[in-house]
Amino acid sequence: MKKRMIQINLYISFCLFLFPLIGFSGTIFQENFDDANFASRGWYDGNTGTVDTNNHISGSTASLICHFLQGGTNCNPADGMYALRHKFTPTSSIYMSYWVKHSANWVGSGKSYHPHMFILLTNLNDDYAGPAYSHLGAYVEENQGYPQLVIQDGQNIDETKIGVDLTSISENRSIAGCNGNQSVGQNQNECYASGSVHWNGVTWKGASAVFFDPAQITNWHFVEAYFQLNTVSNGIGQQDGILRYWFDGKLVIDHSNVILRTGQNPTMQFNQVIFSPYIGDGSPADQTFWIDDLTLATTRQTGTTSRPSPPTNLKAQ
């Protein structure tokens, strides 16, 4: 009996140790960036990068570093060119969280667009699809210090109806511009020619430039984003998709009336994440940012790793 109790106690102790590492139900995968063996953890398409053991959150041993040289469009090639992609089981809802820190001179792109950071793609595109021209690309990034979410779906554009509002006429159309625009609090809509086709985009920003706060710019910040694809009923996309962004636990972007897919693509689901920092016009400064503890899940997660809790009292929703 005593031996049996010892075995039970050991089992309980093991479970309590393991549980914080595997997270709650809904966790898809986690990347701690504690070493650069990315391919062994399912990353592909370059799967290279440099980890920094001098800059990381408490409880971590390293982070992923992206150093932009002045004029550079990508992270410094000498540190490892980033083209990190990771596939996951298709899902209609996706939650992402990570910690980010910036150098004291961080200015981003210096433009009203970029730098790109994380992009989510869907099962309607292949493993190596370009993110800017796809059936749906969902971006989690920052611009001029503002939290930012962006969607593009250039491959869904009806090229014979550029500039025509098809939102109440046809499901064979784009949802991010060129065939009509959504009126759900966005800050910018785009439709522009690129070669023989058109590209588009819808942008939502937070209300303030929190990443440029001079008192906190070099601190670690906890970023969370959530996308939920809208339903499709009787072949028609319903205006019930969700997108949200939290900064250090505070909800700064919140829309629950978004169309992310039409009846043209009812089986569309998220299945790929890309980390490929990019400043199209070249970085205006020699600047750096770091990423630590990336989590992807189907629902908002709290306490999903053995790392310290985020800086505010979060509740799953």
pLDDT of amino acid 19: 34
Residue 263 lies in a domain: yes
For the domain that residue 259 is a member of, what is the CATH number? 2.60.120.200
Closest to 286 (Cα-Cα) out of 68, 66, 55: 68
pLDDT of amino acid 82: 72
Judged against a pLDDT cut of 60, whether residue 192 lies above it is answered with yes
Judged against a pLDDT cut of 90, whether residue 125 lies above it is answered with yes
Residue 98 lies in a domain: yes
- Give tens-digit pLDDT for 233-267: 999 999 999 999 999 999 999 999 999 999 999 99
Q: What is the mean pLDDT of residues 105-127?
A: 97
Tell me the whole-structure pTM to 2 decimals: 0.88
pLDDT of amino acid 37: 95
Judged against a pLDDT cut of 80, whether residue 307 lies above it is answered with no
pLDDT of amino acid 262: 98
pLDDT of amino acid 311: 52
Residue 132 lies in a domain: yes
Q: Where residue 156 falls among pLDDT bands split at 50, 70, 90? A: very high
Pairwise CA distance, residues 188 & 204, whole Å: 7
Residue 207 lies in a domain: yes
Q: Which amino acid is at 105?
A: N
What is the number of structural domains in the chain? 1
Judged against a pLDDT cut of 80, whether residue 114 lies above it is answered with yes
DSSP string, 124-162: TS-TT--TTSSS-EEEEEEETTEEEEEEE-GGG--GGGT
Pairwise CA distance, residues 148 & 80, whole Å: 26
Contact, 200 vs 213, CB < 8 A? no
Residue 17 lies in a domain: no
Q: What is the mean pLDDT of residues 260-288?
A: 97
- Give tens-digit pLDDT for 138-154: 999 999 999 999 999 99
Residue 10 lies in a domain: no
Pairwise CA distance, residues 79 & 159, whole Å: 41
Q: What is the mean pLDDT of residues 62-74?
A: 96
pLDDT of amino acid 18: 37
Residue 303 lies in a domain: no
What is the span of the domain harbouring residue 167? 28-297
Who wins on pLDDT, 136 or 187?
136
Residue 97 lies in a domain: yes
